[in-house]
Amino acid sequence: MAELTVTPRSSLADRPVRVHVRGLAPCQLVTLLASLTDERGSRFRAHAFYRADERGEVDAERHAALGGDFSGVWPMGLFWFLRPDTLFQRLVKRDVVGSPFLVRLEVFDAVHLDAGPEQQPLAACTAERWYVGPGVERAPVHEGRVRGALFLPP
């Protein structure tokens, strides 16, 4: 039984996380898929192909992606290479204080260029990516023609 974990599950958006899959067959070829839906409803995705090691594990920190949206060792590649499903969309976080981006990670058997709803993942999990730490307060700034926000630590 495959198990996909992201450690830590909840973190700030600029902090690295560890993506790890265990419980695969030795040398099994898998596709890792990351997806999120932004506040406007636009969907962003990234995928990469990996081959499990002799213990049946894939660790994005140690194993090189064989292809997909990136290749080589990119520990945060599934987060950094998120692309919109619709052209000319940008990933923008408007509510930086109230809610995180929820990034769904899935692992599929073999190479899948576009995992449709009929394909069931071997394992899945969700990572929370926050833009403001706990206890930080946001104060709007309106002074003359200056507009912005001041983020005050706890």
Residue 116 pLDDT: 64
Residue 115 pLDDT: 59
Q: Is the pLDDT of residue 113 over 80?
A: no
**How far, in whole angstroms, is CA 24 from its chain's centroid?**
21
Residue 121 pLDDT: 94
Q: Which residue has the tokens 């833009």?
A: 131
Q: Is the pLDDT of residue 107 over 70?
A: yes
CA distance 102 to 125: 10
CB 23 within 8 A of CB 56: yes
Range of the domain at 123: 3-152
Q: Based on the structure, what is the number of domains in the chain?
A: 1
Q: What percent of the chain has pLDDT over 90?
A: 85
CA distance 73 to 67: 11
Q: Please give the mean pLDDT across all residues of the chain.
A: 94
User: 64: which DSSP letter?
Assistant: P
CB 125 within 8 A of CB 10: no
CA distance 99 to 132: 9
Look at residue 8 and give its three-state secondary structure: coil
Q: Which residue has the higher pLDDT, 26 or 119?
A: 26
Instruction: Quick: pLDDT tens for 81-102.
Output: 999 999 999 998 988 888 999 9
Q: Is the pLDDT of residue 117 over 80?
A: no
Token pair, residue 35, equals 């997806």
Q: Which residue has the higher pLDDT, 117 or 101?
A: 101
Q: Does residue 75 have a cis peptide bond before it, meaning omega lies within 30 degrees of 0?
A: no
Helix count and strand count (H, E) for the chain: 1, 12
CA distance 45 to 38: 11
Instruction: Quick: pLDDT tens for 43-54.
Output: 999 999 999 999
The CATH number of the domain holding residue 10 is 2.60.40.2240
